[in-house]
């Protein structure tokens, strides 16, 4: 569905995106994970044809993006990080306008109802809350039933319930067989939503795999326990796999001297830090 080979791009003389190679299969949710300024949004701008001054090959749905025609945009839907809506128009008028741009048109009323905006459809967008704008922005991107969706920080700035709603909508699109490219610096979203993620730092892909594989390949569940010694609380960390080898732990368990014990699994963020030496947020 998407094939990127030897991609190189620069805003200045200094390279910004370098030697990027990856492929995305149909029906997959593919995430770009990285800190701000890593090149995620630039990569998405290249994939959507907003930037065409790249070198290398970028094929989206069989089209070399540099040579795209306007019909290319019938096949893709884009949801930018910040809502792009006409504030003076109503939600319904916005959707009707965007719908009119495409050959394949969606059912505005059904889409509004699907995200709980039917009752507010005649309100001006300027009067919408951030969550409402995000939902409207999302359905605007899927109005023409595109094969590929590009989502830039879809849950950014949303409260937990609206973020949940957004993630459910994304998963619903995946269930329909859509290919989704997700740009985020939220490791939890990436872990939950993505089939595969690419860690991007300084315009380069540092790692690319399924979130679970990345977590399991580099880290194992750890155990942390505390106990008292000479009136002071001591803390120890060991790998779950080495609990039987830890004589101190065995003794403390036998003598009922443990003060606390808990396990913790590494997160995608831990793996990201370990692989790239950088923090996500």
Which residues make up the interface to other proteins (CB under 8 A)?
48-50, 70-71, 73-74, 76, 78, 80, 82-89, 97-98, 100-103
Which two three-digit tokens encode residue 102?
A: 């495409």
Cβ proximity to other proteins: between 68 and 174 the closer is: 68
Query: What does DSSP assign to residue 128?
Result: S
Dist. CA 135–CA 116, nearest whole Å = 9
Cβ proximity to other proteins: between 45 and 174 the closer is: 45
Is residue 184 packed enough to be buried (19+ CB in 10 Å), middle (13-18) or exposed (0-12)? buried
State the minimum distance, in angstroms, from the CB of residue 281 to other proteins: 23
127-131 contacts, C-beta under 8 A, 24 or more apart: 128/91, 130/157, 130/158, 130/162, 131/158, 131/159, 131/161, 131/162, 131/165
Query: What does DSSP assign to residue 265?
Result: P
Cβ proximity to other proteins: between 132 and 190 the closer is: 132
Cβ proximity to other proteins: between 125 and 187 the closer is: 125
State the minimum distance, in angstroms, from the CB of residue 54 to other proteins: 15
State the minimum distance, in angstroms, from the CB of residue 143 to other proteins: 10
State the minimum distance, in angstroms, from the CB of residue 268 to other proteins: 29
């Amino acid at each position: 569905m998407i094939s990127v080979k030897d991609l190189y791009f620069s805003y200045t003389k200094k390279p910004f995106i370098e030697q990027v190679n990856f492929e995305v299969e149909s029906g997959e949710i593919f995430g770009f994970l990285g800190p701000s300024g890593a090149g995620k949004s630039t990569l998405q701008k290249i994939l959507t044809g907003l930037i065409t001054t790249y070198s290398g090959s970028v094929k989206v749905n069989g089209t070399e993006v540099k040579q795209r025609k306007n019909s290319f945009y019938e096949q893709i839907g884009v949801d930018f990080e910040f809502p792009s809506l006409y504030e003076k128009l109503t939600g319904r008028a916005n959707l009707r306008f965007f719908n009119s741009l495409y050959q394949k048109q969606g059912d505005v009323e059904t889409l509004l109802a699907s995200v709980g905006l039917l009752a507010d459809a005649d309100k001006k967008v300027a009067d919408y809350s951030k969550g409402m704008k995000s939902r409207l922005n999302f359905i605007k991107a899927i109005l023409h039933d595109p094969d590929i969706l590009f989502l830039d920080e879809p849950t950014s700035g949303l409260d937990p319930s609206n973020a949940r709603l957004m993630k459910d909508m994304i998963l619903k699109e995946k269930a329909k067989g859509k290919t989704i490219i997700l740009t985020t610096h939220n490791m939890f979203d990436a872990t939950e939503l993505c089939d595969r993620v690419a860690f991007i730092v300084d315009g380069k892909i540092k790692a690319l795999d399924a979130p679970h594989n990345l977590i399991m390949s580099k880290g194992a569940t750890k155990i942390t326990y505390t106990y008292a010694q000479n009136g002071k609380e001591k803390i120890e960390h060991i790998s779950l796999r080495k609990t039987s080898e830890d004589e101190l732990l065995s003794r403390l368990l036998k003598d009922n001297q443990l003060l606390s014990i808990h396990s913790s699994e590494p997160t995608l963020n831990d793996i990201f830090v370990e692989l790239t030496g950088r923090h996500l947020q």
